[in-house]
């Protein structure tokens, strides 16, 4: 299994500003995302990832997000095992995010 690349919250913000073609997926629970999400992130709870990936393109770039970076790393590893080749993890999760939030 290939190593999952980690990007910093600042790198994610820069990707958004450049309008890079990627999808951010927040894998936190419902009660966590009400405290704010990264703008334009898609919310798919970690437990729902196995069912949700059938609707995701394997050609797309994904950046996985959670509170601290651990659950999102698990999600990224799972997606990689299922054939997704361009999955990254946001290092430090929302604890490190200092950018804009959407509610």
Q: Which of 25, 66, 75, 90 is catalytic?
A: 66
Q: Record the tokens describing residue 4, joined without a space.
A: 């999952």
Q: Tell me if residue 29 is catalytic.
A: no
CA–CA gap between residue 100 and residue 90 (Å, rounded): 15
Nearby residues of 41 by Cβ (< 8 Å), 6 or more positions away: 24, 25, 26, 65
Residues with active-site annotation = 66
């Amino acid at each position: 299994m290939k190593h999952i690349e980690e990007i910093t919250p600042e790198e994610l913000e820069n990707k958004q500003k450049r309008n890079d073609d990627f999808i951010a997926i927040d894998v936190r629970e419902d009660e966590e995302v009400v405290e704010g999400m990264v703008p334009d992130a898609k919310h798919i709870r970690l437990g729902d990832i196995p069912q949700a990936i059938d609707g995701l393109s394997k050609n797309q770039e994904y950046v996985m997000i959670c509170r601290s970076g651990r659950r999102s790393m698990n999600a990224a590893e799972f997606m990689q095992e299922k054939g997704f080749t361009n999955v990254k993890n946001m290092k430090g999760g929302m604890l490190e995010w200092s950018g804009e939030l959407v509610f």
